[in-house]
Amino acid sequence: MRAPNIMWFLGAGASAAARIPTAWDMLWEFKRALYCSERNASPKALGDLGDVAIRRRLQIYFDARGAFPAENADDEYAQYFEAAYPHEMDRRRYIEQQIAAGTPSFGHRVLALLLQQGKVRLVWTTNFDRMVEDSAVAALGSYSA
């Protein structure tokens, strides 16, 4: 009965469910790209960034260089992103490409249907993508900012 009074707050998990890499995923991609560029190595040799041994290898390399923040530092993501993509336009293009590869998840579609039925009125998100909006448009037929 009180469902319309509940606000939804979505974080990175909602985007990850839509097959959009999280900032953590992107951070390791940046590290791999920089490592491969500096060491003239193939990214295929470091293919599975979910492998703890590969992440450890990358982190040891960057820690030894001393030019980047420590792992889990507040500015770690920004520093590696800017190093991997020095130009703002390239960073913007990178994010746009990651978002374009995503598709609304089942959860996005259900949330859109709840919006359509008036069970949800407000959704907050920290995410860059428009999965909530795109799903709402599909369910409601229009979008107004």
Of 12, 67, 70, 59, nearest in space to 32 by CA = 59
In a structure prediction context, what are the per-residue pLDDT tens digits for the chain, which is 145 residues long? 777 788 899 999 999 999 999 999 999 999 999 999 999 999 999 989 999 999 999 999 999 999 999 999 999 999 999 999 999 999 999 999 999 999 999 999 999 999 888 888 899 999 989 999 999 888 888 655 5
Assess whether 35 and 71 both reside in one domain: yes
Residue 8 has φ and ψ, to the nearest 5°, of -105, 140
Dig out the tokens for 112 from the structure. Answer: 């859109």
User: According to the model, what pLDDT value does residue 139 have?
Assistant: 86
The structure's pTM equals 0.84
Q: Say if residue 41 is in the same domain as residue 60.
A: yes
Q: Are residues 90 and 33 in the same domain?
A: yes
Q: Looking at the 3D structure of the chain, how many domains does it have?
A: 2
Residue 12 lies in a domain: yes
Residues 15, 68 within the same domain: no
- Would residue 41 count as lying in a domain? yes
Is residue 74 located within the same domain as residue 134? no
- DSSP H helical ranges for 2-130: 12-17, 23-39, 52-65, 76-84, 88-100, 106-116
Same domain, yes or no: 113 and 70: no
Angle at alpha carbon of residue 104, lines to 4 and 119, rounded to 5°: 10
Instruction: State the residue range of the domain holding 118.
Output: 3-19+104-140
